[in-house]
Amino acid sequence: MGRLFGTDGIRGVAGEYPLDARTIVACGMALVRVFGRTARMLIGRDTRESGPWIEGLLAEGVRAAGGEITSAGIFTTPGIAYAVRAHAELEAGVVISASHNPYRDNGIKVFSALGMKLDDAQEALLEQEIEALARTVDIEPRSPEASTRMEREPLPTPEAEHLAAEYLHFLRERAMSSSEKRPLAGWRVGIDGAHGAAYRLAPRLLEELGAHVEAIGITPDGRNINHGCGSLYPDAVRHLVLERRCDVGFALDGDADRVVFVNRAGEIFDGDDVLYILAAYLQEQGRLRGDVVVGTEMTNLGVEHALAQRGITLVRTKVGDRYVLEQLLAQHASLGGEPSGHIILPEISPIGDGLLTALFVLNVMRETGRDLAELRAGLLRYPQQIVNVRVREKPPLETIPGLARALAEVRARLGERGRVIVRYSGTEPVARVMVEADSEELVQEAAATVADVIRRHLGEPDALPSEKSR
């Protein structure tokens, strides 16, 4: 992977390389070179205050190179990917978002005419063009304006409103099996929009389906995106569900490509739970092609065992929804996903779509008459801990002194009882140590041993919080 692109596009702090003005303009120009002189593109963004600044610079570059670009305004990542697939006149889609990251971060994601993220070769070509063009861009240094927080909701343009209506219709048609006009009538659904890109779309979608919606995270101000809310903080929607006595609740992230759920009892269901629930449902419907499901190296071992008991094979890949999709296409499979809540149903969409997944899960509940806890009953998860160590650099893991020895010792202790994985985050300066086994005590000891080695050689003073599977 090059210097600009990580596992999910270009990421950084707005105003700093690679999201400085010169590089952003060069990126717009490079998109035209890669997709063609008459390239027509659609651009959308989440609710970060730096979004309009980046969008303006990117559009400036596209138009300077002879391309055309249309803005959808605040729109979800999967919504842009859908629109590009659905409209033959569009050669590419661009999303300005840093997904689940804090508001100071932002990013640029690019989608092909198929609504798919660029592969490594396409990214390498785009990166080469950006680096060459950045040296020629004649632009005065600019920094993001200290824009005031949004005092009122920006009104969508007629074009954006049409795209929104079209996208919501697509979701309903592909995820809900009922032909009823209001199939969720009588349901009380809790929604946490993370103050992000779906803050309008999520409540609207559920209300159009007849649900009574209780919503939080739908008042963005440019800086509160993902702040104590959304899929990274499911306790917020959990409290909402319990307080308002909802039948179910779900929380999206900032650009709405991932989702986690809460049932009426306040139990939290992440991507691993959803992967198992949907795999079992699709298999019963005869729609799970090849009885294969794609997960990642972080998918809980309990999911693999539970699927195996149903005759379903779990194929693992590297972390990142783009790698999940690659394996889904290679396996001709129907379902894949990550613990974070990225779920991909490739026959409907080639990327994770939080709203699509939410509707699909609600439809399973409606069809079966079963709560999420009942649907998950066949899954026994292994104790798991993820320790996030903030690092000052990311050298190859094999060069970290003592790490290979620590991993060998831990793996010897775990034996057949568990596993350990160490990797760098593709979007943050973080090393992640994941350990799972049949003993909580063994998990904690092993995770601490490996994390301490990394922290001693690369770590910043404070590590990020660790995560435990539920």
Q: Which residues are catalytic?
A: 99
CA atoms within 13 A on the CB side of 247: 16
Other beta carbons within 10 angstroms of residue 267's beta carbon come to 16
Please choose, from the candidates 165, 145, 369, 337, the residue with its C-alpha nearest in 3D space to the C-alpha of residue 248: 369
Report the sign of the C-alpha dihedral through residues 296, 320, 98, 192, in that order: negative
Beta bridge partners of 294: 315, 336
Q: Which residues contact 332 (CB under 8 A, 6 or more apart)?
A: 289, 290
Report the sign of the C-alpha dihedral through residues 107, 113, 116, 122, in that order: negative
CA-CA-CA-CA dihedral for 126, 130, 132, 137, to nearest 10: 150
Angle at 233 between CA 228 and CA 238, to 5 degrees: 110
DSSP assignment of 170-219 equals HHHHHH-----SSTTTT-EEEEE-TTSTTTTHHHHHHHHTTPEEEEES--
Angle at 208 between CA 243 and CA 178, to 5 degrees: 100
Please choose, from the candidates 108, 93, 118, 128, the residue with its C-alpha nearest in 3D space to the C-alpha of residue 17: 108
Distance CA 438, CA 458 (A): 30
Please choose, from the candidates 205, 38, 14, the residue with its C-alpha nearest in 3D space to the C-alpha of residue 98: 14
CA atoms within 13 A on the CB side of 197: 31
